[in-house]
Chains A and B, each alone.
Chain A
Amino acid sequence: SAVISQKPSRDICQRGTSLTIQCQVDSQVTMMFWYRQQPGQSLTLIATANQGSEATYESGFVIDKFPISRPNLTFSTLTVSNMSPEDSSIYLCSGGENEQFFGPGTRLTVL
């Protein structure tokens, strides 16, 4: 298994600002993903974080809004840019090989 940590655990941000969320895995993993989860809803995949190349985004998510870095096999960042209240959500990262393990999430509130 892999142990995933995320920071910050929560933040309250002003409209128009940006927040970068960090995801650290305790071992090298091939696959890392970023998700968003609204209260009472299931997880929505934002993108696959690819090591050494641009992230692969799902429909409805674009690089300008959610730039992602993956400099190595244990670390990734997701930035939520030019935030609006609609971006308020829980953001989760996962990492692993076939089995994916999740970080504790970042609870973002945009005022």
Chain B
Amino acid sequence: RKEVEQDPGPFNVPEGATVAFNCTYSNSASQSFFWYRQDCRKEPKLLMSVYSSGNEDGRFTAQLNRASQYISLLIRDSKLSDSATYLCVVIGQGGSEKLVFGKGTKLTVNP
């Protein structure tokens, strides 16, 4: 089983749609969880951290289920500018502080 697995995508949705991405991680000892977005030919940018209680930032909601080792990202009212690759990232696999990246899910929001 891969350390961090994501929906392969790609997702093509119309403007205004709600879209959800899922991610699972293999190591139950993992400590911290993040979603990054990466635009074409750009570096990854931190979108949001994922807390056990779940967290919301405007149109974006992230949730963590430690029992199922599952992380999700929900985007409501999609905008054209949301088109990007979304990377699920986990820290703390095996006690390490290094980030482990999923392969990413590509989202295209269409007019």
A residues at B contact (CB < 8 Å): 1, 31, 33, 41-43, 45, 48, 92, 94, 98-105
Contact = CB atoms under 8 A, between A and B. Distances in A.
A102 B45 contact: yes
Contacts of A100: 46, 99
B98 interface: yes
A94 B98 CA distance: 11
B49 interface: yes
A48 B98 CA distance: 7
Interface in B67-99: 87, 91, 97-99
Contacts of B91: 98
Nearest to A30: B97
Contact of B34 (A92, A99, A105): A99
A101 B99 CA distance: 11
A41 B44 CA distance: 12
A61 to B, nearest CB: 13
Given A99-B49, A101-B46, A102-B43, A42 B103 contact: yes
Given A31-B97, A48-B98, A43 B32 contact: no
Contacts of B45: 102
Interface of B: 32, 34, 42-46, 49, 87, 91, 97-104
Contacts of A43: 44, 87, 101
A98 B42 CA distance: 22
Contacts of B103: 41-42
A103 B34 contact: no
B87 A42 contact: yes
Contact of B43 (A1, A31, A48, A104): A104
Contacts of A42: 87, 101-104
B99 to A, nearest CB: 6
Contacts of A33: 98-99
Nearest to B96: A48
